[in-house]
């Protein structure tokens, strides 16, 4: 099955063990993909940032940041993983298998980042860059740089402004793990609403984006 996945990815691993680690969820084994996910997150952020910088030489920093957030988030990475049917190859614990974890965007997106980290370690940066650019080419071509692709924090802020509701506040609820492998839990609160949204990510920024996305759904349900 690993050969089948390698054909889909367009990359064949010199060390099959690192591919297995990249596909192993923390619910399945202590030797899991969390460290590779941490590495892959930084690599894909840099490659996509460079790609946008080169392709849009006149774009402002704010636009570049917004476009990068559109291309690198749980949904984008999770949908990319689904194109490779990555869920079929994941090693999951019994609980995650039973609950359909192989199709969950949060698990798929983390596994996709772990794959990128694994390719970098196995083949070097140039190879990882070539893979990411190839995978992202259709997304970049189809991306309409409009208000529909603003990051979740911007969309939440603008939606609240349209309702004349105070802007949201974000607070770090907890930081777990070692300094090189931290997981942030951030809450998003909106004045006048009893419910708060909790986002989780490998950086404070990613946790805030997830919390904002969840809060946007809560606010829309409240005011529809």
174 forms beta bridges with: 185
| Class for the domain spanning 152-223 | alpha beta
Cα 191 to the center of its chain, rounded Å: 28
pLDDT at 170: 97
pLDDT digits (tens, 9 = 90+) for 68-86: 888 888 888 999 999 999 9
**What does the longest C-alpha to C-alpha distance in the chain come to?**
57
Stretch (H or E) spanning 187: strand 183-189
pLDDT digits (tens, 9 = 90+) for 38-71: 999 999 999 999 999 988 887 778 778 888 888 8
pTM score? 0.65
pLDDT digits (tens, 9 = 90+) for 154-198: 889 988 998 888 999 999 999 988 877 789 999 999 998 889 999
Out of 1.10.357.10, 3.40.190.290, 3.40.225.10, 1.10.1520.10, select the CATH number for domain 2-145: 1.10.1520.10
Q: Which of 207, 211, 209, 161 is nearest to 189 (CA)?
A: 211
Checking if the pLDDT of 148 tops 90, the result is no
Residues acting as catalytic residues? 41, 113
Q: Give the start-to-end residue ranges of the domains of the chain.
A: 2-145, 152-223
Q: Which of 20, 50, 52, 10 is nearest to 140 (CA)?
A: 52
The helix/strand/coil state of 106 is helix
Checking if the pLDDT of 128 tops 90, the result is yes
Question: In the 3-class helix/strand/coil scheme, how is 46-60 assigned residue by residue?
Answer: HHHHHHHHHHCCCCC
């Amino acid at each position: 099955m690993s050969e089948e996945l390698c054909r889909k990815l367009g990359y064949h691993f010199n060390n099959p063990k690192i591919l297995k680690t990249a596909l192993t969820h923390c619910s399945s084994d202590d030797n899991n993909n969390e460290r590779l996910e941490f590495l892959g997150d930084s690599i894909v952020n840099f490659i996509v940032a460079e790609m946008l910088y080169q392709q849009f030489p006149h774009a402002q920093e704010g636009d570049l940041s917004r476009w990068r957030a559109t291309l690198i988030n749980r949904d984008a990475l999770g949908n990319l993983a689904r194109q490779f049917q990555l869920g079929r190859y994941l090693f999951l614990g019994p609980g995650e298998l039973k609950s359909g974890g192989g199709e969950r965007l949060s698990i798929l997106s983390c596994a996709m980042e772990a794959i990128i980290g694994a390719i970098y370690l196995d083949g070097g940066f140039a190879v990882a860059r070539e893979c990411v650019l190839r995978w992202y080419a259709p997304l970049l071509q189809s991306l309409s740089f409009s208000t529909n692709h603003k990051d979740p924090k911007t969309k939440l802020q603008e939606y609240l402004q349209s309702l004349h509701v105070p802007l949201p506040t974000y607070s770090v609820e907890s930081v777990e793990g070692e300094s090189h492998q931290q997981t942030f839990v951030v809450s998003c609160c909106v004045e006048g609403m009893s419910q708060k949204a909790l986002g989780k990510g490998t950086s404070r920024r990613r946790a805030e984006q997830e919390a904002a996305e969840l809060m946007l759904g809560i606010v829309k349900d409240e005011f529809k």
